[in-house]
Chain A
Amino acid sequence: MSHPPTILIVGGGPAGLSAAAAAAEVGASVMLCEEQPTPGGQLIYRAQPVDTGSGGGAERPEILAKRLVEAALSAGAVLKPGVLVAGRYGDGEILLVGPGRTWTVTPDAVILATGSTDLPFPFPGATSPGVFSCRAVKILLNQWRVLPGRRFAIVGAGADAEDLAVDILLGGGEVVWSGIAPPPLFQTWGRDGVETLSIGPSHFEVDVIAIAVGRQADFALAAMSGAKLGFAPELGGWIPIADDRMQCPEQAIFVAGDAAGIGSVAVAMAEGRLTGLAAAASLGLTGAHVLDEAREAGGAELVWRGDVRRGLEPSHVQPFT
């Protein structure tokens, strides 16, 4: 009996879950591995409503996460939370490490929806207690319901910083300063952690300094798989260079979401859907017209991201292990 082509999806956030549903819907055998015990990616620690780009207003993140999981499952995808995709080896073999089991698979195609990490902002005392990345404060506030201090300073600007400020206020904290911090930035810290922050002529007593200076793609698995990387400051830094089908040329590797360049939840979902269909199309399960429809439905941000990628020069192609 012949089996349907296999697609491994790495990462269970909005992009990965959308890719899983799209690929499974057209008949691929889909396995999605998510490192965390609960799928949802960044949705797990967001509290403010999320614009999904569908024109229907904003959705609560926990409702959206649940909806995306259910769509993937009902399309027939297998979800494996708590399973880490630990590496990819020369002949396409992929190492999976899960609770109680370690094994390898060699899928016909791989979709990397590995998301992003927060960018650092090093300064003296940045390793003292009380200095957190934006994401870490959100995890404490929204996932664990812990208020890590009373007086917060947010270094950085943009959507993540604004979202964090709202989370802090609703959580009962106070944002005493928020903005871009060119040097000189001066902070003092004692035994219990951060105490004061001075930016230019302004001086504040703070308990927490949250660093919200941006995110960068998590491209390690893409690099290991032989994808070329290019540097796109508008998409967070180094990203895998992918074509209009979200494929890294010459590799059976596709990328979507923050892993393909920092963006919104809406574009992660749209790109995930496009990538799921594209991976399935590469295995003969659907046709190019379906991809064109998905691309058009994906919106302006999706198109813009493609434009940025097309203009990238490869800075690096990693040699295989």
Chain B
Amino acid sequence: MIGVNMGENRQTGTREPGVTFACRCEEVRNEEIAAAVLAGSRSIDDVKRRTRAGMGACQGIFCMPTIAAIVAQATGTPIGRLAPMTARPPVRPIPIERLAEMDDGGRETGWR
């Protein structure tokens, strides 16, 4: 196919234009992102809510540019007009026991 990146998995013998992952952490494929836009998503956050792309371990660091490019192309919006994925704490997954350890005291001198 002209103009399409393709690959062949020689172990399974599958030749595909197509299984391209936008989000590695949650294994969301490019087509699922496009399908979310067809179903009504107009923002990167909305795509995230529909597909889970961006909800995984990296919190969207890897997939956001790809999601943005697909949403921009599919909606005809310049990419710079899209709001990037909303960032919420914590920036990395943290085990609950680390939060349970939170201490109130022991401030460095002069620090609130």
Count how many chain A residues have C-beta atoms less than 8 Å from C-beta atoms of the other chain. Answer: 60
**Within residues 120 to 165 of chain A, which ones have a CB less than 8 A from any CB in chain B?**
120, 122-128
**What residues of A have a CB within 8 angstroms of the CB of B11 in the complex?**
189-191
**What residues of A have a CB within 8 angstroms of the CB of B39 in the complex?**
none
Count how many chain B residues have C-beta atoms less than 8 Å from C-beta atoms of the other chain. Answer: 53
A209 to chain B, nearest CB (A): 11
A101 to B97, CA, bound (A): 11
**What residues of B have a CB within 8 angstroms of the CB of A230 in the complex?**
80
The answer to whether B5 and A123 have CB atoms under 8 Å apart is yes
Task: Please report the number of residue pairs spanning A and B whose Cβ atoms sit closer than 8 angstroms.
Answer: 153
Known: A103-B103, A117-B62, A190-B11. A122 touches B30 (CB 8 A): yes
The answer to whether B111 and A229 have CB atoms under 8 Å apart is no
Interface of B is mostly: loop
**What residues of A have a CB within 8 angstroms of the CB of B112 in the complex?**
6, 105-107
The answer to whether B84 and A84 have CB atoms under 8 Å apart is no
Q: Chain A 232-243 against B: per-residue CB contact (8 Å), 1 yes, 0 no? A: 010001100000
**Within residues 272 to 321 of chain A, which ones have a CB less than 8 A from any CB in chain B?**
313, 315-316, 318-319, 321
Return the contact of B86 from the options A87, A124, A127, A223 (Cβ within 8 A): A223
Cβ contacts A to B, 26 pairs, < 8 Å:
A3-B111, A6-B112, A86-B91, A95-B90, A97-B90, A106-B112, A119-B65, A120-B65, A123-B7, A124-B7, A126-B20, A183-B4, A184-B1, A184-B4, A184-B5, A184-B6, A186-B6, A188-B10, A190-B11, A220-B59, A220-B87, A223-B86, A230-B80, A231-B80, A315-B83, A316-B84
Task: Report which B residues bind A (CB closer than 8 A).
Answer: 1-11, 16-22, 24, 30, 59, 61-63, 65-66, 79-84, 86-92, 94, 98-99, 101-104, 106-112
> Closest 8 CB pairs between A and B?
A87-B89, A3-B110, A231-B80, A124-B7, A125-B7, A316-B83, A220-B87, A86-B90
Task: Report which A residues bind B (CB closer than 8 A).
Answer: 3-4, 6, 29, 31, 78, 84-89, 95, 97, 101-107, 117, 119-120, 122-128, 183-191, 195, 216, 218-221, 223-224, 229-231, 233, 237-238, 313, 315-316, 318-319, 321
